[in-house]
Structure 1
Amino acid sequence: MRSSQYLEISMQRRDLIKLAASAALAQSLPRSLQATSRADNLFALGVASGSPLHDGVVLWTRLIDPQGRQFEQKPLAVAWEVADDEGFRRIVQKGSAPALPELGHAAHVELRGLQPDRWYFYRFQCGNSRSVTGRTRTFPLPGSAASKLRLSYASCQRWEHGYYAAWRHMQDEQLDAVCFVGDYIYEYTRSKKDIRSHDVGKPVDLPSYRDRYAVYKSDADLQGMHAQCPWLLTWDDHEVINDYAGLQAPGLPADFPAQRAAAYQVYYEHMPLRASVLTQGPTGMRAGAEMRLYDRVSFGDLADFHILDTRQYRTLQACSVDDKGGGNGVKRDACSALRDPQRSMLGFEQEAWLAAGLKAARQRPPKWTLIVQETRFGPMRSYNKKGETSVSNDTWDGYPGTRTRLVQALIDTRAPNPVLLGGDVHSNWVGHVKADYEQPDSANVGIELTGTSISSNNNSPANIPRHVEENPHFIFGDGYRRGYGVVELRPGRLTATLRVVSDVTQPDSGIETLASFEQEAGRALLQRTR
């Protein structure tokens, strides 16, 4: 792309940031703002909340015409209410927000001034159309006493591969928060093995990405879980295109930076995120196209969340086919680029941000340190008959220097009870974070919980028992079942439960517990309890 095109994107980005920020903070609107008197269900994509703080949260919805007609390219006024009770007899805040055509008629409300550690109810109205009621909460004040945190981790919900029964069952888990760690949508077209299909084309621009999200958001079970509690969000690759790295993608599709910018904007349009994520990027190739997702938030004195972005700032994958990028297996000893210290999965700016945050936590140490990121953390080495070691260059194995630096930061800062949450690989993995993965007997630094997919297939589940045996830092692995994980934190103990649906091809599938684990605070050692 020519430099003039980068400048154009940058200018558009600045305008977008201003629009999003003013819309999210709006409390009252001028009468000249267009409204609608139609009684259609304009809230067919549901409601959601996220980005929770001790005194606020982001509320989200997006207006859509259920008849398939296009709204006029004018803003629509969306009224909102927040109450202490589900019947909205005790309203604590209310106002109006603009649903702007430049943002796909999405509405973001950035609430502040709420009470810490409280549950609230919220709803939207536009003309005669009213949304369902959503439920959300604030987190306890940082440093204040907190006795329990119950959360889920989930990822990878490819529409075509199955139904979202997992989301329906998750609504019964009584969660404080959901950590979604990537692949909210998939960009693929149809295949012959689809369980259910959609009729929208491959996304490449704003309208087509909006269409793809509308398909996913139309699912009642997913909507139901969004309305249950706040979400903490990060992404992986399929929100844009498979295996992209920074501003490069396999085969370098024409005008990929513009496509990525469109995908990032539409991600914001459909997620309960603060407008501040639409930040200006650093100078250079990413100028005007960064979306700052990495963040941290505290849950009282019980836990610190460090939410990472392993996709946007990474170096191109090492030893990819024809050096065009993309994920593939590589022989570890034959790929010298893997050992290049200048390569990073997080980008050195984000690495420094994480290390500084872990160090700063010493002033007010949490009881648990949660690192929320996209994929399996520990090495996954596969050995052929010659004893050669193969690894995936698109996972942490493709960026061993970054992994070593992160582990060292955990050691240097004495981060209390580190727990790494991940997804991406469509299988459940439970294991220990090692001080030195080259030495199996080295000390445990923390634990790792990598979750299976909500619906996306695993193509080689039969190989997982062998991989667990070859990689002893893992104590459990399974790729046959779809579902999610539930983590409950108390001051002295962590419990992790792997919940899996019986049959992802059936919308009314049941659910069961695949395995459960427990960790005592102060000991980086998982014990299986079921």
Structure 2
Amino acid sequence: MNRREFLKWSSFMTVSVASATVLTACGGGDSTSSSGDASNAGSVPRSFSLGVASGDPKPDSVVLWTRVDGGDGVAPINVSLQVALDPDFKSLVLDTTVSAEAQWDYTLRHKVTGLAANTIYYYRFAAGTAMSTAGRTWTAPAAGQSLAQLRFAYLCSQDWSANHWAAFDTLQNEDLDFVVHVGNYVYEQLNRPNVITPPRDPQHGDFVLPDGTKLADGSIYATSLADYRMLYKTYRSDARLQRVHARWPVIATWGDHEFSNDAWQDHQTYTTDDSTPQTARRRNANQAWFEFMPADVPFDQGNPSFQNIQVYRAFSFGDLATFVMTDERLYRADHEITEQSAGGAIGSRYVVGKSLVDSAEAARLASAANALTPVSMLGDTQRQWWQNQMSSATTAWKLWGNEVPLLRMQTNGFNTVVDAVTQAVISTDSSLPPLESIFHAAIQGDLTDAVTQNLRPAPFSRVHQLGQQGGFDEADIQATIAALNQMLPPYSLMTLLLLNADMWDGYNAERKSLMQFLANGGIRNVVSLSGNIGAFMAGPVMDDFDATTPQPVMVDLVTAGISGTSLTTQYEEFLNGTAQTQAWVDALLSGSGLAPFSDSLKTNNSWLSYVDPDAQGYAVVTLTPATLSCTFTKMNPITGGQVPAVNNAIAGTQVVVVNANTPAVTVATA
């Protein structure tokens, strides 16, 4: 096999070894390698419109990335690469030529080894007369090196079509070592028919996928390799995102939208038919992610499986932190409640009866002799790898780059409805508010009977009796009872509900197994850095959230998306979307009995030390041997069609602190 064929079928991660001594740069800061693009002289002008990036910093290496514009789709382009110790490129440690191949859409992933640990480097690419932006990167401290501090940001959910990207500009004011991305770097679906559509960044215009597949609701999702490449090209065209990549190395894993919403393995969930695999589409998504992310991961294009890439990997930073990045999509089992059985996403993935999920999980475990395989998010191999990483880490902290939250998020649908119906009754007459507690007890009893006996319509006998005692006309009492019945949701929603079974709440047995592993091994100072739920949250992860006295094992810190739809908006979309076909939602809302969403979350989830469910932003972590301090930075929204100016983009910050050897969160006061 010749070199060209090897590059075509290998993972195409080229490698160079940096010089142990400083090279002399002829001509100082304006010099470039004379070999750059020599074989393409006179061809279409080159450029580097998507900027540069670096990633996966290790003590002796880092991956550098760019994409060359102007290729003809067939011939390779020679590109020179320089790496230096100074921003003027006078102290070069590497001056080499690499080949940008059409096979990989003229993207370059070049791993530079032989670098010094804990050192800042500068790099740039050139093709002919075209010069890229100069990038700045950093190598991790050597294993065991004593570190006083590490500082990094972690991000997620940067939706091109919702809200704005000013967070990338405010991030430039942070003093960081590196950046972590925990998923949803791109969104595969365009023209999503949201009931509530957040305003879009005016810098983000419409774009069209080369191929795409149209759904019945009019939305279009990426399907071909060209589609997925177009997503990354479009997102990387934003100068604010380019500046982040040019300034810091990024460690990234993926979420669902890099392939398909709420995906599992190579399956989509747009319709109730999620049983048909989409292997070719999954492989296209894998390849595009590999081409456009500066990640030191293996990818085998010749492997016909959809599991032809491994993005889970680990990093160490001196004696201070081990960082474990997991893949929670490629190996996960199907959701416990299938879309077909529930008739859609509601009841299968969102707002799901907890008892239904528990019984479905128990049945799968029993059929597998209690093996976690059919109820796993990580898969057997990755789970064992995760355990090995956690047990073998000798650093002060073990940090987990985790796509979706570990924290339980539940709500009591029965109590919510009782409160809402009570408010509706007492609001009908100014003389009733002093009797609120009496009506609340009566309604609670009436609805308990109705749900237990599955009575439709609910007789509301206690309410009827109170109305008679109050001297109300019988016709008015019956009209009130009829109106109350219009407010009642399906009884399946009047129970303890999990808000999102696509996150770890839908994979509870494996979560408990992981927590038991940590507890039994005495593994302390484990903190999950999660996202992709549209909220800021913080709290301890319990050994068993359902236990009478659950015990904290580790901590989960959840960041809101850069620009994704907030959890509150998602909740409102659920209510308003359901109202199109279910009269009870409007009636329930008009009762003014629904508590604010954040209050409901706090009431039903005592382990949440902090929650802001209506937010966009990012998190910055300052790590020392004694403490992990995390600052949640919340962004102001678009107003009047304008993105807030950088000096007014931040709505506020909240600091939460985790002390070493204590799986608890302290919420700092102003």
- Normalised to the residue count of structure 2, the TM-score between the two structures is 0.71
Structure 2 residue matching 1:358: 3-state secondary structure: helix
Distance 1:253 1:168 in 2: 42
Distance 1:490 1:44 in 2: 38
116-125 vs 518-527, which moves further: 518-527
Change (3 A) 1:100 1:287: same
Change (3 A) 1:74 1:157: same
Distance 2:297 2:57 in 1: 14
Aligned pairs for 1:312-327 (under 5 A) are: 312-322=330-340, 327=349
CA deviations 1:272-328 (Å, max 9, x no partner) are 0125244887xxxx7364310100110000000011011110001111221599633
Kindly indicate whether residue 113 of structure 2 is the aligned counterpart of residue 112 of structure 1.
yes
Change (3 A) 1:377 1:39: same
Aligned pairs for 1:73-84 (under 5 A) are: 73-84=74-85
Asked if the contact 2:527–2:554 (Cα under 8 Å) also holds between the matched residues in 1, the reply is yes
Q: Identify the residue that residue 138 of structure 2 maps to in structure 1.
A: 137
Letter in 2 for 1:120: Y
Letter in 1 for 2:552: N
Asked if the contact 1:433–1:446 (Cα under 8 Å) also holds between the matched residues in 2, the reply is yes
Distance 1:311 1:481 in 2: 25
Distance 1:468 1:280 in 2: 49
95-104 vs 508-517, which moves further: 508-517
Q: Identify the residue that residue 355 of structure 1 maps to in structure 2.
A: 387
Asked if the contact 1:29–1:77 (Cα under 8 Å) also holds between the matched residues in 2, the reply is no
Change (3 A) 1:333 1:14: farther
Kindly indicate whether residue 578 of structure 2 is the aligned counterpart of residue 439 of structure 1.
no
Greater Rg over alpha carbons, structure = 2
Change (3 A) 1:53 1:32: closer
Q: Identify the residue that residue 264 of structure 1 maps to in structure 2.
A: 286
CA deviations 1:442-479 (Å, max 9, x no partner) are 33222111110100112238513311221111111112
**Alpha-carbon deviation of 1:388?**
1.6
Q: CA RMSD in A?
A: 2.7
Which of 620, 630, 635 is 1:501 aligned to? 635
Q: Identify the residue that residue 69 of structure 2 maps to in structure 1.
A: 64
Change (3 A) 1:124 1:276: same
Distance 2:356 2:325 in 1: 33
Letter in 1 for 2:259: V
Kindly indicate whether residue 532 of structure 2 is the aligned counterpart of residue 424 of structure 1.
yes
Q: Identify the residue that residue 396 of structure 1 maps to in structure 2.
A: 504
Q: Identify the residue that residue 411 of structure 1 maps to in structure 2.
A: 519
CA deviations 1:12-33 (Å, max 9, x no partner) are x997551513x45599999998
Asked if the contact 1:121–1:135 (Cα under 8 Å) also holds between the matched residues in 2, the reply is yes
Distance 2:644 2:98 in 1: 35
Letter in 1 for 2:337: C
Asked if the contact 1:26–1:97 (Cα under 8 Å) also holds between the matched residues in 2, the reply is no
**Alpha-carbon deviation of 1:271?**
0.4
Unaligned runs of 5+ in 1: 1-12
Kindly indicate whether residue 323 of structure 2 is the aligned counterpart of residue 305 of structure 1.
yes
185-194 vs 133-142, which moves further: 185-194
**Alpha-carbon deviation of 1:78?**
1.4
Q: Identify the residue that residue 200 of structure 1 maps to in structure 2.
A: 208
Letter in 1 for 2:61: G
Q: Identify the residue that residue 6 of structure 1 maps to in structure 2.
A: none
Q: Identify the residue that residue 399 of structure 2 maps to in structure 1.
A: 370
Letter in 1 for 2:256: D
Which of 606, 619, 634 is 1:485 aligned to? 619
Kindly indicate whether residue 248 of structure 2 is the aligned counterpart of residue 247 of structure 1.
no
**Alpha-carbon deviation of 1:94?**
2.1
Change (3 A) 1:301 1:440: farther
Please state which structure has a larger fraction of its residues in helix.
Answer: 2
Kindly indicate whether residue 663 of structure 2 is the aligned counterpart of residue 524 of structure 1.
yes
**Alpha-carbon deviation of 1:197?**
3.6
288-297 vs 179-188, which moves further: 288-297
CA deviations 1:77-127 (Å, max 9, x no partner) are 111111111111111122122111111100011011000111111111111
Asked if the contact 1:440–1:473 (Cα under 8 Å) also holds between the matched residues in 2, the reply is no
Kindly indicate whether residue 314 of structure 2 is the aligned counterpart of residue 296 of structure 1.
yes
Asked if the contact 1:81–1:122 (Cα under 8 Å) also holds between the matched residues in 2, the reply is yes
When the two structures are aligned, how many residues end up with a matched partner?
506
Change (3 A) 1:255 1:398: closer
Distance 2:34 2:293 in 1: 23
Distance 1:354 1:142 in 2: 19
Letter in 1 for 2:379: G
Distance 1:479 1:40 in 2: 48
Distance 2:338 2:108 in 1: 41
Kindly indicate whether residue 361 of structure 2 is the aligned counterpart of residue 332 of structure 1.
no
Kindly indicate whether residue 68 of structure 2 is the aligned counterpart of residue 51 of structure 1.
no
Structure 2 residue matching 1:161: 3-state secondary structure: coil
Structure 1 residue matching 2:190: 3-state secondary structure: coil
Asked if the contact 2:411–2:497 (Cα under 8 Å) also holds between the matched residues in 1, the reply is yes
Unaligned runs of 5+ in 2: 19-32, 210-220, 366-371, 415-447, 449-493, 573-595
Distance 2:539 2:299 in 1: 32
Change (3 A) 1:227 1:325: farther
Q: Identify the residue that residue 7 of structure 1 maps to in structure 2.
A: none
Change (3 A) 1:72 1:443: closer
Letter in 2 for 1:212: L
Kindly indicate whether residue 592 of structure 2 is the aligned counterpart of residue 474 of structure 1.
no
